Amino acid sequence: MTVIRTVLCELLSVRYPIMLAGMAGGPNTPELVGAVSRAGAFGVLGVTGTTVGAVEAATAEAQSHANGAPIGVNVQLAPTTPATGTFERMVEVLAPFRAELGLPREPARPPVPDPPHDLVEAALAGGARAVTTWHDPTPILAMCRAAAVPVIAMTTTVEGGRLARDAGVDAVIAQGAESGGHRSTFGRDAAMAAETGTLALVPQMRDALDGKLPIIASGGIADGRGIAAAMLVGAVGVSLGTVFLPALESGVAPIHREALRGLQPEDTIVTDAVTGRPARWIRNRIVDALATADVGTLGWGDQGAHLADIRRAAAEQGRADLLPMLAGQAAGLAPAPCPADLIVADLVAGTHAALAMARGAAGPA
């Protein structure tokens, strides 16, 4: 297959400028990470919320599946946030759903994960070849520099891109409003930052950074047409999450894969009600109930932990109406369940076709 070469390929030592988004908490299994890298793209292992021992094991397993191809690691660096609601009111809102799932009225306190710095250190020691960050990358930059490993920071704003550049990152992921992941918004005006679409954000960020720092597009991209469009407005590659959720190697529940099929953009909603920070979720009974209850959250860190056993039970019981499920607005373009290498191949072929069509439409130079 023809190779798409950009500076991102050189930075990551990969064949295709396609990255797997760092979807922690289950979707990014070592098998998926290894399969994406083995196919010529760049698999990224999401490690937030786990332990050093788990990271060591997952990194080793991902590398065994990658057959010598490089893999990366993603870490969320956002600090915890204060509660905007009360524990008692949150228990009241969730009590009917917990009863349906056979859970106690109040959840047990989950184990405390290891600090992000320690998780990255373990992944680097295990051979991770790049680090992508969610939120301000400054806390792990020195460690990555010492390991001679590139750092790629995700941000939703031009200001965030400038801050990441000034901190010394090697590339920036421009996360558009269409994204299914948590919003990596940081900087002076983070609390007031409005969401910007990917195709508007990429060229403005590229101009603001004088075209000198590689910009990677993320959000609303699930096929070759989206990749081509991002590259035509200045991106050197893409970071994709939702399109890989149907992969047979991913760790999402079968009901999550099924929910993606035919999903319309308006079937998703951006809310902080599930985890305490804004993210795009598939609308269902529990997400809508939390979003409309207007009771605040327990803060980033505690809110997600409060729902952890609900998510596990709903997945095990096949309750699509009670399982919070992340998804971007392009989810309806995602493929039917298939191996990850076929998804990569289809993305590459579709990108070539779209770029060829664009060149043809432009006519002779």
Please report whether residue 14 resides in a domain: yes
What is the per-residue pLDDT across 130-172, written as a single tens digit (0 to 9) for each?
A: 999 999 999 999 999 999 999 999 999 999 999 999 999 999 9
pLDDT at 324 > cutoff 60:
yes
What are 159's two structure tokens? Answer: 């200001």
Residue 55 lies in a domain: yes
Cα 323 to Cα 40: distance, rounded to the nearest angstrom: 33
State the average pLDDT over residues 34-46: 98
Average pLDDT, the chain: 94
CATH code, domain carrying 147 = 3.20.20.70
For helices 116-125 and 138-146, the axis angle rounded to 10 degrees is: 20
pLDDT of amino acid 181: 87
What pLDDT sits at residue 1? 45
Q: Which residue has the tokens 């327990």?
A: 298
| Predicted local confidence at residue 363, as pLDDT | 64
Percent of the chain whose predicted confidence (pLDDT) is above 90: 87
Q: Model pTM?
A: 0.94
- Per-residue pLDDT averaged across 236-254, rounded? 97
Burial class of residue 203, CB neighbours in 10 A (0-12, 13-18, 19+): middle
- How many domains does the chain contain in total? 1
For residue 113, the model assigns a pLDDT of 87
Structural domain span for residue 166? 7-362
Nearest-5° Cα angle at 12, 148 to 325: 110
User: Is the pLDDT at 239 greater than 90, yes or no?
Assistant: yes
Q: In terms of DSSP H, where are the helices of 168-274?
A: 198-208, 224-232, 254-260
